[in-house]
Amino acid sequence: MEILRRFTITLLCLIVLTPLGLAWKAGTAKVVITPETPIWMAGYAARDKPAQGTGQDLYAKALALEDIRGNRVVLITTDLLGFSDEFISGVAKRIADSTGLSRDRLLFNASHTHSGPALARVLDIAYLMSPEQKEAVASYTLSLADKLVSLVETALSDLQPCKVTHGYATASFAINRRVETSSGFVIGANRAGPVDHSVPVLAIDSERGSLRAVVFGYSCHNTTLQGSNYHYHGDYAGVAQEWLEKRYPDSIALFVTGTGGDSNPYPRGTRELAEEHGASLGRAVADALTGPLYSIAPSIGATFDTVDLEFKVPPSRSVLEKQLEDENPHKRLHAKKFLAELDANGSIDSNYSYPVQIWNLGNAITLVALGGEVVGDYGFRIKREIEAKSVWVAGYSNDVSCYIPSRRILREGGYEAEESMIYYGRPGSFQPTVEDRIMAKVHELSAKLREEE
């Protein structure tokens, strides 16, 4: 009888509220995560001192959504370069303990700003920090974990009826950054290379019709500001979020990084350009909010799993010993790390347990969130192969522990395929199977969600 009563209420809610799009609930929260002291900054190995000040505050933001059946998910976006699986798993475990939300229902995305703080155990080899500086980064990382846990709790305590709609904009400042030269691929501006200018938009409106939150994505490195900048800053993504929050003062704007592993803003290099690109992205999102926007039915599906990726045969002891003499200090640190692993375990671990997460919103949006610095080829392929009204592909999610090159980029070589693996402390480049393994997991999880509907 109770089941019948609940079914009848649910059905009535669906009939009465769904046309109005008000059967969703949403809660929002944001917190400043700018370090209180000047600590080492993430992203550029050539930096030789900690931050010198703040150009723009950095934020972590959360959007909690609840569907008509009470299913919940929380999207957490951060003005950070990236984070480790170890850090995010620890935060997710604490959130699960306090709220009951399982791992598949929490999605953490990093804006990949290169003007934010370094975090403990991310890109260790890239930063030549003193022990005191390492201590400051470790202490910041601990305080960040506390902030993220209470951020999610606050968003969940704020759930109110709302309407969820979806649309698209475009922004044109991203450019493919892989340029072929006689000595291989280098980072530059490749006007002919593949790039994704689409900007997926999710709008959350209150019962009264005012905007409470807007989520928007873009596939482009958040690197308008370069290594000469020593001031904390959210880069173009931070500017776009601030622009939207000024335009809609009762809302929060959340930026989700897409598959921008092989694209850069163009042109780049100054604060003015970061402001210009950010404002153009903000304007594009504001334009999309004027419509047409499509109503999303109040249902949520969520799934999360890992897939084993393999690195190529790890370097031998003799190769590593030779690397100890390299003039590049990062290569020396890389050799030291793997010689220590050889000494301790007798072998080098060449597996990587890689996170793949999918959310299905209203049987209309399939949001595929991949770990790492995912290159554009994955975005194009997933949008082509996954059947859904709208496919939204995010990279830089849940674990940002190296580049994720496609089969094509592995074949071509260059920074995203090879050299970056030194800085990320990986044994070497990926096996060519990496793309198919990830795609197989995306298809498997997407089919699983469809079956559960």
Q: Which is nearer to Zn ion, 235 or 373 (CB)?
A: 373
Minimum gap (Å) between residue 194 Cβ and Zn ion: 17
Minimum gap (Å) between residue 188 Cβ and Zn ion: 15
Of 212, 220, 286, residue with least CA distance to 257: 220
Q: Which two tokens stand for residue 439?
A: 């795609």
Q: Which is nearer to Zn ion, 105 or 177 (CB)?
A: 177
Rounded CA gap, 285 and 290, in Å?
9
Backbone angles phi, psi at 132, to 5 degrees: -65, -40
Of 113, 149, 443, residue with least CA distance to 303: 443
Q: Which is nearer to Zn ion, 275 or 373 (CB)?
A: 373
Q: What are the DSSP E strand ranges found in 286-399?
A: 294-295, 300-310, 351-361, 365-370, 373-374, 390-394
Q: Which is nearer to Zn ion, 373 or 399 (CB)?
A: 373
- Quick one: residue 266, left, alpha or beta (phi over 0 = left, psi -120 to 50 = alpha)? beta
Q: Answer for the pair 311, 350: CB distance below 8 angstroms, yes or no.
A: yes
Cis peptide bond N-terminal to 19, omega within 30: no
Q: Which is nearer to Zn ion, 77 or 251 (CB)?
A: 77
Minimum gap (Å) between residue 114 Cβ and Zn ion: 8
Q: Which is nearer to Zn ion, 200 or 372 (CB)?
A: 372
Minimum gap (Å) between residue 57 Cβ and Zn ion: 22
* Torsion angle defined by CA atoms of residues 52, 57, 58 and 59, in that order, rounded to the nearest 10 degrees: 160
Minimum gap (Å) between residue 112 Cβ and Zn ion: 6
Rounded CA gap, 108 and 398, in Å?
5
Give the side-chain half-sphere CA count within 13 A for 143: 14
Provide the binding-site residues for Zn ion, judged by CB under 5 A.
373
Q: Which is nearer to Zn ion, 373 or 435 (CB)?
A: 373
Backbone angles phi, psi at 218, to 5 degrees: -155, 145
Tell me the residue number closest to Zn ion, measured at CB: 373
Minimum gap (Å) between residue 199 Cβ and Zn ion: 19
Beta strands 231-232 and 53-54, pairing class: parallel
Distances (CA, A) of 78 to 168, 208, 246: 22, 28, 19
Amino acid code (one letter) for 179: V
Q: Which is nearer to Zn ion, 38 or 395 (CB)?
A: 395
Minimum gap (Å) between residue 221 Cβ and Zn ion: 5
Minimum gap (Å) between residue 397 Cβ and Zn ion: 14
